[in-house]
Amino acid sequence: MPAVSKGDGMRGLAVFISDIRNCKSKEAEIKRINKELANIRSKFKGDKALDGYSKKKYVCKLLFIFLLGHDIDFGHMEAVNLLSSNKYTEKQIGYLFISVLVNSNSELIRLINNAIKNDLSSRNPTFMCLALHCIANVGSREMAEAFAGEIPRILVAGDTMDSVKQSAALCLLRLYKASPDLVLMGEWTSRVVHLLNDQHMGVVTAAISLITCLSSKNPDEFKTCVSLAVSRLSRIVSSASTDLQDYTYYFVPAPWLSCKLLRLLQCYPPPEDGAVKGRLVECLETILNKAQEPPKSKKVQHSNAKNAILFEAISLIIHYDSEPNLLVRACNQLGQFLQHRETNLRYLALESMCTLASSEFSHEAVKTHIETVINALKTERDVSVRQRAADLLYAMCDRSNAKQIVAEMLSYLETADYSIREEMVLKVAILAEKYAVDYSWYVDTILNLIRIAGDYVSEEVWYRVIQIVINRDDVQGYAAKTVFEALQAPACHENMVKVGGYILGEFGNLIAGDPRSSPLVQFNLLHSKFHLCSVPTRALLLSAYIKFINLFPETKATIQEVLRSDSQIRNSDVELQQRAVEYLKLSSIASTDVLATVLEEMPPFPERESSILAKLKKKKGPGAVSVELEDGKERGELNGGGDRGGDAAIAASNASTPSPSADLLGLRSAAPVSGAAPSAGSLLVDVFSEAGPAAASAGVNDDGFLRFVCKNNGVLFENQLLQIGIKSEYRQNLGRMYLFYGNKTSVQFVSFSTTVSCPGELQSQLNVQTKTVEPLVEGGAQVQQVINIECLTDFVDAPLLNIKFRYGGALQNISLKLPVTINKFFQPTEMAAADFFQRWKQLSQPQQEAQKIFKASHGMDTEVLKAKLLGLGTALLENVDPNPENYVCAGVIQTKAQQVGCLLRLEPNAQAQVRTRARAHTQMYMHTHTQMYMHIHTQSPSVLLCAALIASLTAVCVFLCAAANQAWRAGNTQLALFSLALFLSHSPPLSFTPFFHFLIHFSPHIDSTLSH
Amino acid sequence: MQFMLLFSRQGKLRLQKWYVPLSDKERKKISRDLVQTILARKPKMCSFLEWRDLKIVYKRYASLYFCCAVEDQDNELITLEIIHRYVELLDKYFGSVCELDIIFNFEKAYFILDEFLLGGEAQETSKKNVLKAIEQADLLQEVRLHTDP
């Protein structure tokens, strides 16, 4: 039985709880609970009306049972009945039950809301608080709809009791967090801000949480809070510890309020008003000074409260990042904490110093603590503290201390906790790359990594070392020598074999002069590991072997023998079997010249952001990913020449004059070197150069916008977290767009919000209305948003879509252009030839015509072109132009203000087409998952077909590679190539994968090999 | 603050308060996993840890663990003192509180918490004011004969 039972203890409840506690087994407990549930059920259903007390007692028992972890499916109605009791305790239990066990039953919600409404208008502060607590605890949208208008009024009313104000402020905060669209502060803003001046400290403490949240979302509307916050803070900081009576906590005046004030100030830049800023700097200095004073109490609560304020002040100093003096003082203070006997303080100091390390003013000051931090990494007994130390070492690393830090991290890795090894490996790999002065050190470091923690070395890490070795010829010999030595170890990690196979295959010749590493020795060393490796590694080794045949003709017989063995040529794995068959044939049929070309050394990789860095960001739940899409500014050419009153004509003619910017149906996706999308062409030209689906999946976001010029549905954006799909429809000058936000992770996105804005003059040209989306997107879920668009007059820019949400605590911010272009408001117009040319001639003034000449870089497929022109929104007029090669289109752009007729002619030039072919097929790079990359020289029709399909087909094929394989065996080269092309165009390009160069000459020999 | 859990050394939940909308299933999973994680930690370890995407602040008082999950920008030390203030409030109300008080008067523990924290933020940090509100509520209760079985 309880030692204390205050108020009116419910004896029946206490007995029940005792019974449950006395149950010896889980079964006994369940039995007892079921008995009680049956009893309560019969009481509730009984004929005799229950009195309030009994109802309360049973509802309370149900609550207890629920909190034990059992399901409760009745009693809600009785709880709701309690809400309207005029006895406080009954009401209180009713509210508690509702708060804990909310039910989305609409009938109940209405009843609950009614009860709440009655209590809110009761003018009894205790009842009002109960009702507000319930709203704050449940925080559902239905409640926001019912009360979001009423609560601000209660909050600022002059006659509201302080305790009710406190509840109202936090209640409103909860509603705002859940349904920001329903809480409109508008007229209340300034009175809410002035709550910072309230006499009652409790009111200020509660209100400031609300103000901070509102300020972070609408900084401009609330900016008057800055000076109020500074003066309030200043009064607290300078007050004696007894001034604030019960708001002083262990000799620290108002620690909670101080922290919140400092937190609020972090929503804003430093105050511009000199006086305010001076006062604030004074506060911050006082806080730093107080940290040096002897403690007023030995209690940990005293130092915690004092240091809580200190850390919050340091956060503000770091946030401002403009006061070198304060930054350095903060750093020194944290330095003292690094050796404090309190683990908590050491942890926080390491964490806080991490952010200080990134400020230019304090980076050097942070670096002076390197020895202490290294020591923490070695000696801290708590893994979470060691993790912070590793983070700080990473943050303070620069060229001057990289070798020391990397060495320490490597040695820590040998004993590090399993949970953080992978992250440590990535960090070491990044630091080694970022601060490598000589690349032999880099190679050593990565090979050490693989040796120490091979299991935790992700693909990205070894890809990266290979990229770097390939790109720097000064380190290749060293790399070959080191990796050869590393492979000597009797047991080495598979990742080491991969790196070894790759590097020796490319650069084994650089160490072949030494008899200890002669070609045959190298081969035997690699092959001794072969049988212990997984299929992908074996595949890589086979490719290394064929490279050996080219590098060292003397190994040819040995290697052919290996390839010919049953375990290769009849391997059950189709990839291995295929490689063995093809390599064997290649080595026996191709001449040395052909072999040398096909198996040429890898060319340098294009420079790009380190894939490891990308991986680390991904692991951390990427920080602020900001994606700004390429904009088609040259759109001026499309309609800039148009006369506003009359018709404008657009003619895109394809003359033979070459223009370097044009890239008609170009293989942009296929050329790895042109990873940066060209932006020089006009909109129309860019549209026609649209990359194939392969590029889309590569995440080349620049294409996202342009790809939608000629189509209305598809994927606008995709990263590791989020996919945004679009469906849109347009009629006349109106459009409706459905955006689908898909959460690709298993973690929910919170505070999900989107805004669509029309920058600059677009505001007066487009009318865009959006419906808000739910702020919570569950993992794997998709939410839809509808956007209505009205075109008022012609426009050039596109509306901006900004998406914000928190993923794993980190704020994500994505900005995209919404693909709303003027041509969406095209209405196709049919007209006869005479009509067309009469109008065409009428539009003869220079400002009525826009012309663009561009070179086609790819074979022009009539159907593809037609589809594009139709996608543009115009009508394609058949039998209008006397020249059958030309395409003629007409349409009317519908805006609210006016209608603009447009005529369009596309005049392809046959010669250009020839040139196109020539260009498309001499330089075609394709990526495949087998890490090959082909370089085709041919005039054969089937290959042409292939090339044409690569950029344009849209079917999704997974088994095409296998189909190609089959077709080859069956002797159907054309089908094989066709399938291969499809496959190539849909497999995700492994942008960071080190590719084997595999140059296949479709010379007659190989043709025969293939049909073999 | 996202949620607060009170649990015993045996891992039994004594009080749970959720300030973010989560399904019952998710709540159960979070409590189970987190309780396990914290019970596995040694006494001298740091009171803060990163757990999944949350910052966890916890402290043990006798047989009970008090554990809060806070957001990234929240202050760990002040959260630790929120826990302490809540313990002080319980202590003052029950008169040197023990686990049994919280088990048998769980509804009171919830009421005190609601007076102190609302929607995950401090509503009233003055010990006097919180207790005054609770005492007033207790005064509103009329004396009853305990006649139930």
Question: How far apart are the C-alpha atoms of A897 and A903, rounded to whole Å?
Answer: 20
Do A813 and A742 share a domain, yes or no? yes
Name which of A810, A808, A753, A771 is nearest A177 in CA terms: A753
Q: Is A24 annotated as a binding residue?
A: no
CATH code: domain of residue A775: 2.60.40.1230
Q: Of residues A607 and A212, which shows the higher confidence score?
A: A212
Res A695: pLDDT: 32
Give A989's pLDDT tier (boundaries 50, 70, 90): very low
Handedness of CA A153, A157, A161, A163 (dihedral sign): positive
Do A898 and A804 share a domain, yes or no? no
Do A902 and A954 share a domain, yes or no? no
Domain boundaries, chain B: 3-147
Do A707 and A815 share a domain, yes or no? yes
Res A209: pLDDT: 94
Question: How far apart are the C-alpha atoms of A759 and A767, rounded to whole Å?
Answer: 12
Tokens for A490? 């009797």
Res A517: pLDDT: 87
The lowest-confidence range among A135-139, A900-904, B118-122 is: A900-904
Say yes or no to pLDDT of A705 above 90.
no
Name which of A821, A466, A879, A462 is nearest A631 in CA terms: A821
Neighbours of A209 (CB within 10 A): 24
Amino acid at A796: V
Query: What confidence tens digit (pLDDT) does each residue in A625-642 have?
Result: 332 323 333 333 333 333
Query: A140: which chain B residues are within 8 Å (Cβ-Cβ)?
Result: 21
ipTM of the complex: 0.93
Question: How far apart are the C-alpha atoms of A397 and A378, rounded to whole Å?
Answer: 17
What is the rounded average pLDDT of the residues A40-63?
85
Residue A382 at interface with chain B, using a CB cutoff of 8 Å:
yes
Q: Is A57 annotated as a binding residue?
A: yes
Determine, yes or no, domain membership for A714: yes
Determine, yes or no, domain membership for A664: no
Question: How far apart are the C-alpha atoms of A763 and A152, rounded to whole Å?
Answer: 32
What is the rounded average pLDDT of the residues A884-912?
76
CATH code: domain of residue A355: 1.25.10
Say yes or no to pLDDT of A791 above 70.
yes
Contact partners, residue A469, CB within 8 Å, separation at least 6: A439, A443, A475, A476, A479, A503, A506, A507
Give A672's pLDDT tier (boundaries 50, 70, 90): very low
Determine, yes or no, domain membership for A245: no
Res A665: pLDDT: 31
Do A963 and A901 share a domain, yes or no? no
Determine which helix (DSSP H) or strand (DSSP E) holds A285, and give its type and residue range: helix A274-292
Give A417's pLDDT tier (boundaries 50, 70, 90): confident
Do A982 and A917 share a domain, yes or no? no
Do A933 and A963 share a domain, yes or no? no
- Asked if residues A666 and A858 have their Cβ atoms less than 8 Å apart, the reply is yes
Name which of A653, A634, A640 is nearest A853 in CA terms: A653
Q: Which of B46, B82, B105 sits opposite A385 (nearest CB)?
A: B46
Contact partners, residue A367, CB within 8 Å, separation at least 6: A357, A396, A398, A400, A401
Give A644's pLDDT tier (boundaries 50, 70, 90): very low
Q: Which of B76, B81, B118 sits opposite A170 (nearest CB)?
A: B118
Determine, yes or no, domain membership for A502: no
Q: Which of A133, A304, A343 sits opposite B80 (nearest CB)?
A: A304
Name which of A800, A787, A804 is nearest A721 in CA terms: A804
Residue A29 phi, psi dihedral angles, 5° rounding: -65, -45
Q: Is A12 annotated as a binding residue?
A: yes
Say yes or no to pLDDT of A810 above 50.
yes
Question: How far apart are the C-alpha atoms of A828 and A73, rounded to whole Å?
Answer: 60
The lowest-confidence range among A69-73, A79-83, A239-243, A435-439 is: A239-243
3-state secondary structure of B105: coil
Res A159: pLDDT: 86
Q: Based on the structure, what is the number of domains in chain A?
A: 4
Boundary (domain end) residue, out of A793, A820, A847: A820
Do A827 and A930 share a domain, yes or no? yes
CATH class of the domain whose range is B3-147? alpha beta
Res A51: pLDDT: 81
Q: What percent of chain A has pLDDT over 90?
A: 16
The lowest-confidence range among A17-26, A730-739, A824-833 is: A824-833
Question: How far apart are the C-alpha atoms of A914 and A1011, rounded to whole Å?
Answer: 29
Handedness of CA A137, A141, A147, A152 (dihedral sign): positive
Query: A805: which chain B residues are within 8 Å (Cβ-Cβ)?
Result: none
Determine, yes or no, domain membership for A769: yes
Is A809–B127 a contact, with Cβ atoms under 8 angstroms apart?
no
Tokens for A852? 């663009």
Say yes or no to pLDDT of A935 above 70.
no
Crossing angle (nearest 10°) for helices A402-413 and A418-434: 160
Amino acid at A401: N
Query: B126: which chain A residues are within 8 Å (Cβ-Cβ)?
Result: 201-202, 245-247
3-state secondary structure of A150: helix
Amino acid at A264: L
Question: How far apart are the C-alpha atoms of A975 and A979, rounded to whole Å?
Answer: 6
Alpha carbon of A669 to those of A271, A630, A673: distances in Å?
Answer: 49, 16, 10
Query: What confidence tens digit (pLDDT) does each residue in B91-141 have?
Result: 999 988 888 888 888 989 999 999 999 999 999 999 999 998 888 877 776
- Dihedral class, residue B121 (left if φ above 0, else alpha if ψ from -120 to 50, else beta): beta
Boundary (domain end) residue, out of A820, A845, A864: A820
CATH code: domain of residue A903: 3.30.310.10
Res A207: pLDDT: 93
Residue A311 at interface with chain B, using a CB cutoff of 8 Å:
yes
Neighbours of B89 (CB within 10 A): 20
Do A962 and A913 share a domain, yes or no? no
Determine, yes or no, domain membership for A370: yes
Query: What confidence tens digit (pLDDT) does each residue in A562-603 have?
Result: 888 888 888 888 888 888 888 888 888 878 888 888 888 887
The lowest-confidence range among A48-57, A280-289, A483-492, A906-915 is: A906-915
Determine, yes or no, domain membership for A549: no
Q: Which of B72, B85, B104 sits opposite A17 (nearest CB)?
A: B104
Share the mean pLDDT of chain A: 76
Say yes or no to pLDDT of A623 above 50.
no
Contact partners, residue A371, CB within 8 Å, separation at least 6: none
Whole domain around residue A714: which residue ranges?
702-820
Is A3–B101 a contact, with Cβ atoms under 8 angstroms apart?
yes
Q: Taking CA A353 as the corner, what is the angle to CA A352 and CA A354, rounded to the nearest 5 degrees?
A: 90
Residue A242 exposure: Cα atoms within 13 Å on the Cβ side: 0
Residue A287 at interface with chain B, using a CB cutoff of 8 Å:
no
Handedness of CA A546, A550, A555, A561 (dihedral sign): positive
Res A281: pLDDT: 93
Query: B87: which chain A residues are within 8 Å (Cβ-Cβ)?
Result: none
Give A9's pLDDT tier (boundaries 50, 70, 90): low
Do A731 and A832 share a domain, yes or no? no
Task: Find the residue in A nearest to B77 (Cα).
Answer: A308
Say yes or no to pLDDT of A619 above 70.
no
Q: Which of B48, B94, B120 sits opposite A344 (nearest CB)?
A: B48
Query: What confidence tens digit (pLDDT) does each residue in B47-87 have?
Result: 999 888 889 999 999 889 999 999 988 999 999 999 999 99
Residue A98 at interface with chain B, using a CB cutoff of 8 Å:
no
Give A4's pLDDT tier (boundaries 50, 70, 90): very low
Query: Which of A163, A299, A811 to substitute to test the interface with B, most B CBs within 10 Å?
Result: A163
Say yes or no to pLDDT of B7 above 90.
yes
Do A883 and A933 share a domain, yes or no? yes
Say yes or no to pLDDT of A140 above 70.
yes
User: For tokens 């509180």, what's the residue?
Assistant: B97
Say yes or no to pLDDT of A338 above 80.
yes
Question: How far apart are the C-alpha atoms of A452 and A781, rounded to whole Å?
Answer: 40
Neighbours of A14 (CB within 10 A): 17
Determine, yes or no, domain membership for A734: yes
Give A1012's pLDDT tier (boundaries 50, 70, 90): very low
Say yes or no to pLDDT of A360 above 90.
no
